[in-house]
Amino acid sequence: MNQKGMKIAACALAGAIVFSGLKFQSGAAGVSSVLPVAGLALVLGEGSSVTQIKEETKQTKAAAPLAENVLKNITSAETLTAETVIKTPTITIDDQTTATTAATGVVQEQQATVIPEAVTETAITDVTAATDASVQDTTVSENKIEETTVSENKLTEEEKEFSTLVIAKVNDYVNVRDSASEEGEVVGKLYDKSVGTFISEENGWYQIQSGSVTGFVKAEYVVTGEEAIELAKEVGVRIATVTTTTLKVREAPGMDATVLGLVPIEDQLSVLEELEGWVKVSIEEGEGYVSHEFVTLSTEFVEAESKVEEEARLKAEEEARKAAQAAAAKVVSKTTQSSSDSSAEPAAVASGGSGAGSSVANYALQFVGNPYVYGGTSLTNGTDCSGFVMGVYANYGISLPHSSGAQRGAGYDVGGLANAQPGDIVCYSGHVGIYIGNGNIVHASTAATGIKVSNASYRNVLSVRRIF
């Protein structure tokens, strides 16, 4: 039955046939059905027998001459079903008569009320319109959900990771407190552009976890959400850490591509682009590609420092500085114009900074012109970049790891190239050098150039570490 038929059938008496004031009881319970008969509505219970209806019609033929029309319209079916279409006008009777008829099965006369066709059509139109509006609202709601899902799906894996971050946006640092109040005890510091993970919000404060610090920062001094996602891309450093003994960096993404350079295990490379199965990175020889299979990707951020960590760091830095200065004092008097390891004249002379730092820089300059050898540690016969820095500092009694990535953790960070002094280690993606002042470094560059002097900003600087 179509929707229009079902709505009109709902207002008819289930299980009865109404003919111009005469009613016929079908004797069967169930869902009501309606059949168009001579401008009237025939309503009878589903499953009513055609034979039974014929008999009842004959008995009341004298009182209901219109029943002949019923017989003509139902001879083609043995049993009437709920698929019959309604035609108006529809005749209704009150609930009282319905109950009496159902109980006694006696045919009674009842004044019928005719519902005008126009009224019925209007009601149906209103109901249909309301239903359509409801469906439309549901569709709109579903579309909004779908749009939200699409919006979330548009985020890259990296952006989804950043969406939970809280990033400090201040001149220096914001205090991390043990409660959501300025009266709370300071448990650490979240420095400018340092990052924490959002936990909860309370009265204008964010509870965060950063490094070993868990506490509250005032919301007005940090950014979250979309702003944090965008800022994270600026302050975070995407790193590919080498997981194989010797990683080949190729000129193009493919195993058949020419090898551009070699990188040792545990070295860290700046990621320029992530492709299907390949990662574009920056090395001393230029930009190249490494297989995703042989690196681990991560994003590095500066995190909060607890009060205990800050005190320990300052103490360790002071002790390391004193030890380095004592070691450097032993060789400050040595000439920097000649060396038993090399007869090459220095390409530059270190300027500025501490006496110990300048001594380190001048000592390193003695080896300019010597060869670059991947994996080497000899300042005279060949060394790679980290081997060069390691060898120079070994002369002052300072032990450093043979890895550019590991050397990024040596000493302490001075806050960028603008604060660099002679002797500082300047760290790049997969490369390191020694700052000599005036914006220059000395470093074991490539096999083609050997140990040389370059402008310190010739590549993007990741950090500057101070040993002395």
- DSSP codes joined into one string, 77-103: -SB--TTPPP-SSEEE--HHHHHHHHH
The verdict on whether 385 is a catalytic residue reads: yes
The verdict on whether 431 is a catalytic residue reads: yes
CATH of span 332-466 = 3.90.1720.10
Region(s) of the chain under CATH 3.90.1720.10 = 332-466
Region(s) of the chain under CATH 2.30.30.40 = 159-235, 240-300
Q: How does residue 383 score in pLDDT terms, banded at 50, 70 and 90?
A: very high
Determine the pLDDT at residue 69. 53
Give 152-185 as a 3 state SS string: HHHCCHHHHHHCCEEEECCCCEEEEECCCCCCCC
Determine the pLDDT at residue 355. 74
**In the predicted structure, residue 43 carries a pLDDT above the cut 90:** no
The verdict on whether 402 is a catalytic residue reads: no
**In the predicted structure, residue 88 carries a pLDDT above the cut 50:** no
Centroid of chain to Cα 179: 29
Q: How far apart are CA 297 and CA 284, in angstroms?
A: 20
**In the predicted structure, residue 262 carries a pLDDT above the cut 90:** yes
What does the DSSP 8-state code read for residue 6? H
Mean pLDDT for 58-83 is 47
For the chain, give me the number of helices (H) and strands (E)?
Answer: 11, 29
pLDDT tens-digit map of 225-250: 999 999 998 898 889 999 999 999 99
Mean pLDDT for 337-362 is 61
**In the predicted structure, residue 81 carries a pLDDT above the cut 70:** no
Determine the pLDDT at residue 456. 96
Instruction: State how far the alpha carbon of 247 is from the alpha carbons of 217, 267, 281, 378, in Å.
Output: 42, 9, 12, 22
Of 11, 292, 427, 431, catalytic: 431
Window from 146-160, 183-197, 228-242, 406-420 with minimum mean pLDDT: 146-160
Token duo for residue 285: 């020889």
Of 11, 292, 385, 427, catalytic: 385
Token duo for residue 370: 């010597």
240-300 CATH pick, 2.30.30.40, 2.40.128.50, 3.30.420.40, 3.40.50.1100: 2.30.30.40
**In the predicted structure, residue 45 carries a pLDDT above the cut 50:** no
N-to-C CA span, the chain: 91
Determine the pLDDT at residue 155. 72
159-235 CATH pick, 2.30.30.40, 2.40.50.100, 3.50.50.60, 1.10.3720.10: 2.30.30.40
Determine the pLDDT at residue 319. 80
User: ∠ CA 25-30-31 to the nearest 5 degrees?
Assistant: 100
Of 11, 402, 427, 443, catalytic: 443
Q: How far apart are CA 361 and CA 235, in angstroms?
A: 30
101 contacts 16 by C-beta, under 8 angstroms: yes
Percent of the chain with pLDDT strictly greater than 70: 60
| Mean predicted lDDT score pLDDT of the chain | 74
pLDDT tens-digit map of 283-334: 999 999 999 999 999 988 999 999 999 998 888 778 877 776 676 666 555 5
50 contacts 24 by C-beta, under 8 angstroms: no
